[in-house]
Amino acid sequence: MTVLARFQYRYGEKDWRWYPQEVYDVVQKDDIAYTVADGQIIKTVETKWEYAAAEAAVPVNIILGGPGYLYADGKYYDSPFFTFRKTHIITSEYSAYDANSYVVQIDDYNVLTGKHTFSTAVVDGKIPLAPTIGSALSNLLQRPITGTLNLPCDYTENTLTIQSQWAENETELNNLARRAAQLATAIDRTVTMKDNPYIYRGGTVRLKHPKRSIDALHLVWGRNKKYNGATGEATMDLWMKYFVM
């Protein structure tokens, strides 16, 4: 004989539930506390919370009514059911090993058994940096980045300082520096031609001038329209840049 439970709320065609809405339970939680020096992590303390029960510390004598509860695995525990409790406290300490690696010393304390497990590992790379809280502005960090941009030029030496509130890492700053160098070494050209609505500021124009041996793509950075009142002809002046690098 099969007894069917009666549920009140219909979620789908063959999906009936007891509650009118989904109920989610937290089955595990991790809390991590960081100790940071000069932006680098030197120590972390991770606390784990889970549903569990600790084994009874004293052997149980059922006749004498000893402590603990018998589970299906044949062991006695201190609770009749699993409760959400603290299960592990993991302490990790970081220290430099050499220029390209660091040492992690881990102490895993099992709260349920009262035992410590110690381990040490040498990890390649730099000591991890402190994590940041995500936001709508991504992971913007206010810290100086110093780099050297080598230009393919053997007769001049120049030092360029780049400042940008939008650059988030060294790669983006290097790109900004390269664009600034390209802009500083660009060739400026001015051309007057018939008005063309398809040519706009920020667009790319292929300029060809056989007498000057010019055949290259140019960036339009300025445009000025002019009208001849007598003839009604419309012309425009284009200011363009040609990037040589």
**Domain edge (last residue) among 77, 106, 124:** 124
Cα-flanking dihedrals φ and ψ of residue 62, to 5°?
-60, -40
- Asked whether residue 114 falls in the same domain as residue 42, the answer is yes
Total number of domains constituting the chain: 2
Tokens standing for 128? 């991890």
Question: Residue 67: inside a domain, yes or no?
Answer: yes
Cα-flanking dihedrals φ and ψ of residue 200, to 5°?
-135, 165
Question: Residue 68: inside a domain, yes or no?
Answer: yes
Distant-in-sequence, close-in-space partners of 25: CB < 8 Å, separation ≥ 6? none
Question: Residue 160: inside a domain, yes or no?
Answer: no
Residue keyed to tokens 């050499």: 98
- Asked whether residue 37 falls in the same domain as residue 113, the answer is yes
Residue pair 144/39 in contact by the 8 Å Cβ criterion: no
- Asked whether residue 196 falls in the same domain as residue 119, the answer is no
**Domain edge (last residue) among 109, 124, 139:** 124
**DSSP output for 120-178:** EEEEESPPPBPP---BTTBT------------S-SS---------SS--SHHHHHHHHH
From CA 242, how far away is CA 31, in angstroms rounded? 56
Tokens standing for 10? 């219909």
Question: Residue 57: inside a domain, yes or no?
Answer: yes
Select, from the ranges 106-110, 151-155, 192-196, 238-242, the one with the highest average predicted confidence (pLDDT): 106-110
- Asked whether residue 119 falls in the same domain as residue 192, the answer is no
| Residue of higher predicted confidence among 173 and 123 | 123
Is a pLDDT exceeding 90 seen at residue 212? Answer: no
- Asked whether residue 32 falls in the same domain as residue 111, the answer is yes
Select, from the ranges 3-17, 75-89, 102-116, the one with the highest average predicted confidence (pLDDT): 102-116
- Asked whether residue 117 falls in the same domain as residue 198, the answer is no
Q: Which domain holds residue 196?
A: 187-242
- Asked whether residue 109 falls in the same domain as residue 192, the answer is no
Positive/negative CA dihedral, 206, 209, 215, 218 = negative
Question: Residue 143: inside a domain, yes or no?
Answer: no
| Residue of higher predicted confidence among 123 and 70 | 123
11 φ/ψ sector (left φ>0, alpha ψ -120 to 50, else beta): alpha
From CA 224, how far away is CA 101, in angstroms rounded? 59
Residue pair 79/53 in contact by the 8 Å Cβ criterion: yes
Q: What is the pLDDT of residue 4?
A: 55
- Asked whether residue 119 falls in the same domain as residue 199, the answer is no
Please give the helix or strand (H or E) that residue 60 lies within, else none.
none
Question: Residue 139: inside a domain, yes or no?
Answer: no
Query: pLDDT band for position 209 (50/70/90)?
Result: confident
- Asked whether residue 37 falls in the same domain as residue 120, the answer is yes
Work out the angle at residue 133's Cα, subtended by the Cα atoms of residues 127 and 139, and round it to the nearest 5 degrees: 80
- Asked whether residue 119 falls in the same domain as residue 191, the answer is no
**Domain edge (last residue) among 73, 103, 124:** 124
Q: Can you say how many angstroms the Cα of residue 66 is from the centroid of all Cα atoms in its chain?
A: 54
Is a pLDDT exceeding 90 seen at residue 92? Answer: yes
Question: Residue 145: inside a domain, yes or no?
Answer: no
The count of other CB atoms within 10 Å of the CB of residue 240 is: 22
Is a pLDDT exceeding 70 seen at residue 3? Answer: no
Going by C-alpha positions, the residue among 28, 47, 33, 44 that lies closest to residue 88 is 47
Query: What is the overall mean pLDDT for the chain?
Result: 79
Q: Is 180 helix (H, G, I), strand (E, B) or coil?
A: helix
Question: Residue 11: inside a domain, yes or no?
Answer: no
